[in-house]
A = this chain, B = another copy of it.
Amino acid sequence: MRNLSDIEQSFEIYLIGKVERKNSKVYIKLFEKYVPALKQLEHFSHVQVLWWADKHDNEKSRNIMQTTPPYGENPPVTGVFATRAEYRPNPIGLTTAEIVSVDYDKGQLEVKNIDAFDGTPVIDLKAYFPVCDRVKEASIPNWIVGWPEWFPEEGFGL
């Protein structure tokens, strides 16, 4: 597992679109090439948006392995994989968002909310399938045990 060729291996991610915030609305605007990949998405209520935290695409942020979360009660030192922090070895953000509408002509998706800045690169979209992502019995650490048990109706925003 630790030979150098493996460790140095990397993969290329393409930008498929961007987050666009306009008049208090939030859009995922896709490049023309990727618009056909939206087909049928309007029949799902939610989508998982994978985005690239470009402000943390640098050597410093990508080498942060632990943090003390700015939430919870007396949060302990925590590995970044046990958080949703944007600074992590691969700065991938993942936000579930409610779909408002899909506009094929404009090549965009309107979502209710997202915790990514205007202009943030988007790298993937995945329809939200309850069978994949809705865990009936999920437990979290004691220091955040007061948190809501469900995705909030208003979604996650900035």
Contacts and interface: CB of A to CB of B under 8 A. Distances in A.
Given A15-B6, A31-B2, A124-B90, A36 B79 contact: yes
A82 B150 contact: no
Interface in A109-158: 121, 123-142, 147-152, 156
Interface in A81-99: 81-84, 88-90, 92, 94-96
Given A7-B31, A18-B1, A128 B135 contact: yes
Interface size bracket, A side:
35 or more
Contacts of A52: 11
A41 B140 CA distance: 9
A79 B15 contact: no
Contacts of A47: 81
Nearest to A39: B79
Contacts of A128: 135, 138
